[in-house]
Amino acid sequence: MIIIPSGKPKIWDKQSDLGAVKASKAYTGNFHRLCKAYAETFDGDYLILSPKYGFLKPNSLVLGTYDVRFTARGVTPETIGLEALSQQWQALGIQQASITMLGGQKFKPLLEKITDGKQVFSFPLHGSKGIGDMQKRLRTALDTGEPFN
């Protein structure tokens, strides 16, 4: 299981009259697309973590565009709440002991709170020097066929 961030660029930025779409098509930013390609290549089973909708399966519907973000402190009044995220996580019934999150530092405390520390998350992109470095590392993994350790 790999969790990937949703990202700000969305399909509605270029097709504003479009209605609801599957989560797998909604997010169009470079970082999201690289994370999605990595997840599909090296695992196949992934969730998208959206600050508006929470945990989305690739076939979940996203109703339209939005512009909210998780912060270093986690949830905000504009995002989905911590309790709702925890309920979603429990409903998903994910039993894996170790789960990969392709994202920045802000996701670590958030995921620990959501799961009450009952699961271990690996963050292979931590230590990167920014989004450009993260994208480079994802491209290298995809180009070489070598997943992160």
Burial 73-99 (b: 16+ CB within 10 A, else e): ebbeeebbeeeebeebbeeeeeeeeeb
Q: Does some domain include residue 149?
A: no
Burial 19-54 (b: 16+ CB within 10 A, else e): eebebbebbbbebbbbbbebbbebeeebbbbbbbbb
The number of folded domains in the chain is: 1
pLDDT digits (tens, 9 = 90+) for 37-69: 999 999 989 999 999 999 999 999 999 999 999
pLDDT digits (tens, 9 = 90+) for 91-108: 999 988 889 999 988 899
Q: Does some domain include residue 57?
A: yes
pLDDT digits (tens, 9 = 90+) for 13-41: 999 999 999 999 999 999 999 999 999 99
Residues of the domain holding 37: 2-144
